[in-house]
Amino acid sequence: MTTTEQDGRAPLRSVSDSPPDAAALARRVEEFLAEHDPAGTDAADFLRARFAAGLAWVHYPAGLGGLGAENGLQTAVDAAFARAGAPENRPRLNVIGLGMAAPTILRFGDDAQKQRWLPSLWTGEDIWCQLFSEPGAGSDLAGVGTSAVWDGDAWVLNGQKVWTSMAHHARWGIILARTDPEAVKHRGLSYFVVDMTAPGVEVRGLRQITGEAEFNEVFLTDVRVPDDQRLGEVGQGWAVAQYTLMNERVAIGGGTLPRESGAVGALAARWREHPEARTPGLHDRVLRLWVRTEAARLTAERLGQQQAAGQPGPEGSGVKITYAGLNQECSSLELELRGEDGLRYPDYTERRPEVEDYGSRDAGWRYLRFRANSIEGGTTEILRNVVAERVLGLPAEARADKDVPWKDLPR
């Protein structure tokens, strides 16, 4: 009996047909909807059936939610399901699972791991988080100190992670831990999937400048992780993590968005609705931000297709830098257009938001929240180094710790 049969989910179904083109995909969607009425089918059952039919992410392999189709065809499939009123798979809440964990599992997981985690990840039944940054290892991710020690039949994890989005909702977490402190810092790491409900996992909220506790710190005390929850070889964790991070930067800065959405949409709406706030020179500033945002959006679409092909690349760092800067510039100008009203802040009550719709929030909240864009998902300073070295081919910065065992590094 398969895992999916045991827990009541639809079993994976192999698809033997050759990869479909756009027309064939449209027919498959039409046939699927004829058999599964979105209005009359339980949402979870509908999503499981869609995954089993290969219409979840059509560029994935057959039997893993896809049909082996070409990149770029997913958008049309998603649009057809949206027009039919099909249920969503909680994409905003599970952005880490869909944008980072899934491609990493597909690239580095074995067959059993893919079939164990991908179905419930895509349907949104299981939310995922990322356990990378630590109080002493943020920008220098290779310096993480969370330990993973083999103990008979499992790895035992001890340490602390920080800035962990969605940890208070997550069922699973992808985690980077140190398995060999005698090795240099980039080589002594391994990559695991940790059960966030396991004994020894403690999640605490971190209150931000907005007044909300959107992020978390996570403490791991003698958390046992079986070896079948390791992705990649022991000591290969840095390579696996780099693949995850390249996907993260495309997911953060390269999501396919409608024209004039997000921060620039709020700015443009303010400009149009309040002509009294316009002063000489502001029109040029708004127009330049609009054009730059549209150029970034189109670039991000292309990188999103590259990500779907399993080739995220270091160029995603450039997109993420641009995304952070534009959000901050747009929110700053929007606040300027509000004049003295921009000095007001609605509410500092602490709360634990599920997901944030940036467009529906107050301008002051956007201004404060977007300060984090140049930190989360890799600081702008570090990402500039990535672009310089891996995209432009400039000489790497000198490193004094390159050949020093991690245990001997000052901390």
φ/ψ (deg, to 5) at 241? -65, -40
Confidence of residue 14 (pLDDT cuts 50, 70, 90): very low
- Per the model's pLDDT, the better-predicted residue between 391 and 220 turns out to be 220
pLDDT digits (tens, 9 = 90+) for 132-143: 999 988 778 899
- Give the separation between CA 166 and CA 157, rounded to whole angstroms: 20
Structure-token match 């220098």, residue found: 140
Torsion of CA 340, 346, 349, 350, to 10 degrees: -80
Read off the tokens for 206.
């971190």
Q: Which of 92-96, 145-149, 331-335, 363-367 has the highest mean pLDDT?
A: 145-149
Question: How confident is residue 289, by pLDDT bands cut at 50, 70 and 90?
Answer: very high
- Token duo for residue 217: 């710190």
Looking up tokens 């590259």 gives 306
| pLDDT score, position 12 | 40
CA-CA-CA-CA torsion for 194, 196, 200, 206, nearest 10 degrees? 120
Confidence of residue 256 (pLDDT cuts 50, 70, 90): low
Quick one: which of 70, 59, 34 has its CA closest to 49? Answer: 34
* Separation of first and last alpha carbons in the chain: 49
248 catalytic? Reply is yes
Query: What is the tens place of the pLDDT at every residue in 169-222?
Result: 999 999 999 999 999 999 999 999 999 999 999 999 999 888 888 889 999 999
Structure token digits, residue 136: 């002493």
* For residues 329-357, average pLDDT: 81
Mean pLDDT on 360-377: 86
Which tokens go with 276? 């009294």
Mean pLDDT across the chain: 87
Confidence of residue 357 (pLDDT cuts 50, 70, 90): low
Q: Give tens-digit pLDDT for 229-239.
A: 999 999 999 99
Is the pLDDT at 378 greater than 50, yes or no? yes
Non-local CB neighbours of 45 within 8 Å, separated by 6+ positions: 10
Q: What CATH number should be reported for the domain whose range is 242-391?
A: 1.20.140.10
- Kind and range of the H or E run holding 217: strand 215-225
How high is the pLDDT of residue 316? 76
Judge contact between 255 and 319, C-beta under 8 A. Answer: no
Number of H helices, E strands in the chain: 13, 8
For residue 408, pLDDT beyond 50: yes
Give the number of other CB atoms < 10 A from CB of residue 121: 25
**Angle between helical axes of 315-337 and 262-273 (0-180°, round to 10):** 20
What is the domain partition of the chain in residue ranges?
A: 18-88, 242-391
Q: Residue 410 and residue 285: Cα distance in Å, rounded?
A: 46
Most confident of 87-91, 196-200, 306-310: 196-200
Residue 161's pLDDT is 97
Q: Residue 249: what pLDDT?
A: 58
**Mean pLDDT value of segment 28-42:** 96
Catalytic position from the list 214, 248, 315, 329: 248
Q: Closest Cα partner for 272 from 258, 293, 286, 289? A: 286
